[in-house]
Amino acid sequence: MIVEMRKSATQEEVDGVVQRAKSLKLNVQLNVGTDKTVVALLGSNTGQLSSGIFAVLPGVASVTRIMKPYKLASREFKAMDSLVSINGIEIGGERVVVMAGPCAVESEEQLKNAARAVKNAGASILRGGAFKPRTSPFSFQGLEEAGLELLEEVSKLYDIPVVTEVVDTHEVELVSKYAAILQIGSRNMQNFALLNAVGKCRCPVVLKRGFACTITEWLTAADYLLAGGNSQVILCERGIRTFEDSARFSLDICSIPVIKKSSHLPVIVDPSHAAGHYSLVPAIARAAVAAGADGLLIEVHPNPREALMDGAQSLTPSDFTRLMGELDKVAKSIGRYIQP
Ligand code: PEP
Ligand code: MN
For CA atoms 297, 320, 314, 333, the dihedral sign is positive
Q: What does the alpha-carbon distance between residue 48 and residue 200 come to, in Å, rounded to a whole number?
A: 21
CA distance 18 to 278: 58
Bigger pLDDT: 29 vs 144: 144
Count other Cβ atoms within 10 Å, centred on residue 36.
16
- Best CA proximity match to 182, nearest among 213, 190, 324, 169: 169
* The CA-based dihedral angle spanning residues 185, 186, 191, 194, taken in that order and rounded to the nearest 10 degrees: 10
- Reported confidence tier of residue 48, pLDDT bands at 50, 70, 90: confident
Determine the Cα–Cα distance for residues 238 and 186; give it in Å rounded to an integer.
8
Question: Residue 66: pLDDT above 90?
Answer: no
* Ligand 1, atom 5: closest residue by C-alpha: 185
CA of 104 to the centre of ligand 1 (A): 10
Rounded to two decimals, the pTM is 0.93
- The pLDDT of residue 100 is 98
First to last CA, the chain: 47
Strands 27-32 and 37-42: antiparallel
Residue 339: the pLDDT is: 85
Instruction: Provide the pLDDT confidence category of residue 85 given band limits of 50, 70 and 90.
Output: very high
Exposure class string for 118-138: b at 16+ Cβ within 10 A, else e: bbebbbbbbbbbbbbeeeeee
Q: Is the CB of 262 under 6 A from ligand 1?
A: no
- Are 266 and 234 within 8 A, CB to CB? yes
Q: Which of 325, 262, 263, 313 is nearest to 289 (CA)?
A: 325
Listed residue (219, 232, 227, 164) closest to 189, CA to CA:
219
Q: Does residue 234 register a pLDDT over 90?
A: yes
Q: Give the mean model confidence (pLDDT) for residues 71-92.
A: 96
Ligand 1 atom 3 nearest Cα: 103
pLDDT digits (tens, 9 = 90+) for 100-135: 999 999 999 999 999 999 999 999 999 999 999 999
Examine the pLDDT at 81 and tell me if it is beyond 90. Answer: yes
The pLDDT > 90 percentage for the chain reads 93
Closest CA to 228 of 204, 202, 189, 264: 202
Average pLDDT value for the chain: 96
Q: How large is the average pLDDT for residues 60-87?
A: 94
Question: Best substitution site from 190, 208, 297 to test ligand 1's pocket, by max atoms within 8 Å of Cβ?
Answer: 208
Q: Give the separation between CA 212 and CA 288, rounded to whole angstroms.
A: 20
CB 307 within 8 A of CB 103: yes
Q: What distance lies between CA 85 and its chain's CA centroid?
A: 17
**Nearest C-alpha neighbor of 315 from the set 111, 102, 73:** 102
Question: CA 256 → CA 158, 236, 334, distances in Å?
Answer: 31, 9, 15
pLDDT, tens digit, 9 for 90 and up, residues 217-226: 999 999 999 9
Contacts of 199 (CB under 8 A, 6+ apart): 224, 225, 226, 227, 228, 229, 230
Helix%, strand%, coil% for the chain, nearest 5: 40, 20, 40
Average pLDDT over residues 17-44: 92
DSSP-based three-state secondary structure for 293: coil
Q: Are 65 and 50 in contact (CB under 8 A)?
A: no
- β-pairing, 267-269 vs 233-237, is parallel
Answer yes or no: is the C-beta of 191 below 6 A from any ligand 1 atom: no
**3-state class of 113 per DSSP?**
helix
Q: Which of 139, 165, 300 to mutate to test the pocket of ligand 1 (most atoms within 8 A of CB)?
A: 165
- Nearest residue (by CA) to ligand 1, atom 9, is 186
Outline where 188-241 has alpha helix (H).
192-200, 215-227
> What is the number of the ligand closest to the CA of 239?
1
Spacing, Cα 257 to ligand 1 middle (Å): 22
> Which atom in ligand 1 lies closest to the alpha carbon of residue 310?
3
* pLDDT for 67 beyond 90: no
pLDDT digits over 146-181, tens only?
999 999 999 999 999 999 999 999 999 999 999 999
Q: Among the atoms of ligand 1, which is closest to the Cα of residue 185?
A: 8
Q: How far is the CA of 21 from the centre of ligand 1 (A)?
A: 43
Atom 4 of ligand 1, residue of closest alpha carbon: 185
* Reported confidence tier of residue 270, pLDDT bands at 50, 70, 90: very high
Residue 60 identity (one-letter amino acid)? V
pLDDT tier at 96, thresholds 50, 70, 90: very high
Write the single-letter amino acid at 267: V
Determine if ligand 1 sits within 6 Å of the CB of residue 301. no
